[in-house]
């Protein structure tokens, strides 16, 4: 006679690791932003930039998520067109975040930052592989 064995399978997720982002596309107070990091999954619970919620979150791949940052009360420095904000992502009930420099849509400084985004992700990546076409400059 066969032996009845119970097998329990447990799936666990690492918290998301936020590394960098693109500029906010439309203006200094709201617009589309792409966030880069690791351990991103399709079940996005919440994304915040400073005190602003991101709406219409889109899972791109395990290292990229985009969303619309709703209007907020943080002010982008008009001279440098940047502001440090805490970006937090909650995925599958696990949270991770980082203080990032957020640029407005009028800033040209992001082009250099985007180039370093790819290098930072490639250098710090542990379990994921990024294809060159997955990160495109905006």
4-47: pLDDT as tens digits: 677 888 888 899 999 999 888 766 568 899 999 999 999 999 99
Terminal CA-CA length for the chain: 64
Average pLDDT of the residues in 113-137: 39
Question: What's residue 79's pLDDT?
Answer: 60
Question: What's residue 1's pLDDT?
Answer: 57
Q: What is the DSSP letter of 133?
A: G
CATH superfamily of 17-101: Immunoglobulins (2.60.40.10)
User: Nearest to residue 88, comparing CAs of 12, 13, 16?
Assistant: 16
Which of 117 and 76 is assigned the larger pLDDT?
Answer: 76
Q: In what order do the strands lie in the sheet with 44-49?
A: 17-21, 31-38, 64-69, 52-61, 44-49, 82-91, 94-103
pTM for the model stands at 0.68
Give the burial class of 64: count Cβ atoms within 10 A of its Cβ; 0-12 exposed, 13-18 middle, 19 or more buried. buried
pLDDT in tens, 39-95: 999 999 999 998 889 999 999 999 999 999 887 766 666 666 778 899 999 999 999
Question: What's residue 68's pLDDT?
Answer: 93
Question: What's residue 133's pLDDT?
Answer: 36
Question: What's residue 3's pLDDT?
Answer: 67
Q: What is the DSSP letter of 132?
A: G
Which of 16 and 137 is assigned the larger pLDDT?
Answer: 16
């Amino acid at each position: 006679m066969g032996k009845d064995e119970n097998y329990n399978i447990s799936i666990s997720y690492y918290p998301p690791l936020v590394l960098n982002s693109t500029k906010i596309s439309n203006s200094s107070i709201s617009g589309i932003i792409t966030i880069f990091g690791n351990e991103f999954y399709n079940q996005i619970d919440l994304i915040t930039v400073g005190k602003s919620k991101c709406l219409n979150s889109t899972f791109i791949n395990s290292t990229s998520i985009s969303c619309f940052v709703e209007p907020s009360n943080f002010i982008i420095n008009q001279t440098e067109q940047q502001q440090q904000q805490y970006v937090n992502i909650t995925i599958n009930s696990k949270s991770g975040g980082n203080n990032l420099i957020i640029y407005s849509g009028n800033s040209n400084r992001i082009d250099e930052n985007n180039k370093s985004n790819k290098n930072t992700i490639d250098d710090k990546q542990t379990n994921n592989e990024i294809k060159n076409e997955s990160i495109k400059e905006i």
